[in-house]
Structure 1
Amino acid sequence: MLLALTAAAQDSGFSADSAQLHRRPVFQLDVRNSILNRHYVTLLGLKLGVEWRGRLRTGIGVYLLSNAIPSRQPPPAELPAATRAELRFRYVAGYGEYVVLRTKRWEISGQAQMGVGKSYSRYFVPDGSVLRSPKQTIWLAEPTVAGQMRVFRWFSLGTGLGWRQPVFVSRSLQRELNGPVFYGRAKISLGDLYKTLRFKRRLFSQNGLRPDN
């Protein structure tokens, strides 16, 4: 499973002072994995948003399928039967995430995305030519649940699991694009890392993360 690097624009710690912030900008390299047409694929994404009071995060993300996948839809009738088809898509999504549990060490959140984008097929004809189908508009709904453990004050590890469901598209395209979504994630809090280095604190200290701290 690939890891995505997350970097908060400001301190993302779980301290009382951090929780009092009304809002702050966040950005995230969001690498997600999925199973499409029985093939393992990777979705590369970039998310920009705002965090409200340490609980609610909203924003927008852009996603691109990193590698084409074989399509199960038959090629157009005018093409030879041996024509090979590959499916590609990209989309933009608005998201909302709510942190339902947050402690010094743990965080559990639920997220929902609603996206719109374009999908098309590329046809590889036996004579060596490559054709492309007209682009189709796709709508995608994607609920996920994520968990995160803070290893050090400035570094966390997390994972998430969800489902991607196309809506308002043909049933055949739904079968091609729907599937599980899963990811592993490494998160670096730039604010906490800066404070650790500035005040010469121990880089790999557990101070402030144990229940008795």
Structure 2
Amino acid sequence: MHTIGFRHWARALGVLLLGGAGALPALAAAAPFPAADDSVSVRHPHRRPVFQLDIRNSIINHRLVTIPGLKLGVEWRGRLRTGLGVYLLSNGIPSRQPIPSELPAATSSELRLRYVAAYGEYVVLGNPRWEIATQLQLGVGKTYARYALPDGAVIRSPKKVIWLAEPSLTGQMRVYRWLALGAGAGWRQPMFVNKFTERELNGPVFYGRVKLSLGDVYKVMRGRQRLFTQQGLRRADW
């Protein structure tokens, strides 16, 4: 191994000495190290901020509901990501919880949910183009019921604190250096709530996401790299 390394550098030095300044591009091509501004390696040595649009879907009370969210986090060495997200239930869903006895019998109810979550994600398999990762979200928020009375009046129940745990498995593919698309699936488990709320809100979760690498977006805006470049994403670049 040492002999191969010595021959490599000796050949590069010979090219530089014989070719003068014109040999510098050849030396750069021969160097075994990646470009300093390459930010797509799975084991990138620096931290970088990431922004995600996280659209989570779930089946609650036999209905498909959407829970949109926004995430802001930090990626560590291309393997570990941590950050915070904000989520809210985009539309109410029919609730199976008992209607309070003081309300008319024809009253209908909907369940509402809003929460914030801290997340951790670890890449278990991948390369600069695609990856598979495990993710765990721990959230806390509030849930309440919205009652629609027969006369058109609306009453809300008192808000209750709810804790949520959401383990999942996710896949992602980079379209460009600064843009990645992904999807995942997991399970939502409410904690420290009554049995009715737990029964309604626990269940499968599946989601799609759009991720922006803010450092690469900044480089594009400053003109330091092309907008639709595939540099570093092709197999030949690895």
TM bin, normalised by shorter chain, reads 0.7 to 0.9
CA contact (8 A) 2:56 2:66 kept: yes
1:206, CA displacement in angstroms? 4.2
Matched, 1:19 2:44: yes
Give, as a single letter, the amino acid of the residue that structure 2 aligns with 1:164.
R
CA contact (8 A) 2:166 2:187 kept: yes
1:134 — aligned with what? 158
Correspondence for 1:121 among 129, 145, 149? 145
Q: Where do 5+ consecutive residues of structure 1 fail to align?
A: 1-10
1:82, CA displacement in angstroms? 0.9
Q: Secondary structure at the match of 1:212?
A: helix
1:139, CA displacement in angstroms? 0.9
| More relative contact order, 1 or 2 (CA 8 Å, 6+ apart) | 1
Q: Secondary structure at the match of 2:199?
A: helix
Give, as a single letter, the amino acid of the residue that structure 1 aligns with 2:40.
F
1:121, CA displacement in angstroms? 0.4
Matched residue pairs, number? 200
Q: Secondary structure at the match of 2:197?
A: helix
CA offsets 1:147-203 (integer angstroms, 9 cap, x no match) = 0112333332211111111111112111111121112223344544565683575x5
1:112, CA displacement in angstroms? 0.5
Matched, 1:159 2:183: yes
Distance 1:42 1:56, change over 3 A: same
TM-score by length of 2: 0.75
More helix by share: 2
1:39 — aligned with what? 63
1:170 — aligned with what? 194
Q: Secondary structure at the match of 2:235?
A: coil
CA offsets 1:97-152 (integer angstroms, 9 cap, x no match) = 11112302111111101111111101111122211111111111001111011233
CA contact (8 A) 1:12 1:191 kept: no
CA RMSD of aligned residues (A): 2.3
Give, as a single letter, the amino acid of the residue that structure 2 aligns with 1:85.
S
Matched, 1:208 2:223: no
Correspondence for 1:58 among 78, 82, 87? 82
1:12, CA displacement in angstroms? 8.8
Q: Secondary structure at the match of 2:236?
A: coil
CA contact (8 A) 1:57 1:96 kept: yes
TM-score by length of 1: 0.83
Q: Where do 5+ consecutive residues of structure 2 fail to align?
A: 1-36
Q: Distance in 2 between matches of 1:108 and 1:48?
A: 20
1:71 — aligned with what? 95
Correspondence for 1:89 among 94, 110, 113? 113
**Which structure's CA Rg is the greater one?**
2
% identical aligned pairs? 68
Q: Secondary structure at the match of 1:174?
A: helix
Give, as a single letter, the amino acid of the residue that structure 1 aligns with 2:135.
Q
Q: Distance in 1 between matches of 2:49 and 2:79?
A: 13
1:25, CA displacement in angstroms? 2.7
Q: Distance in 2 between matches of 1:189 and 1:110?
A: 19
CA contact (8 A) 1:150 1:156 kept: yes
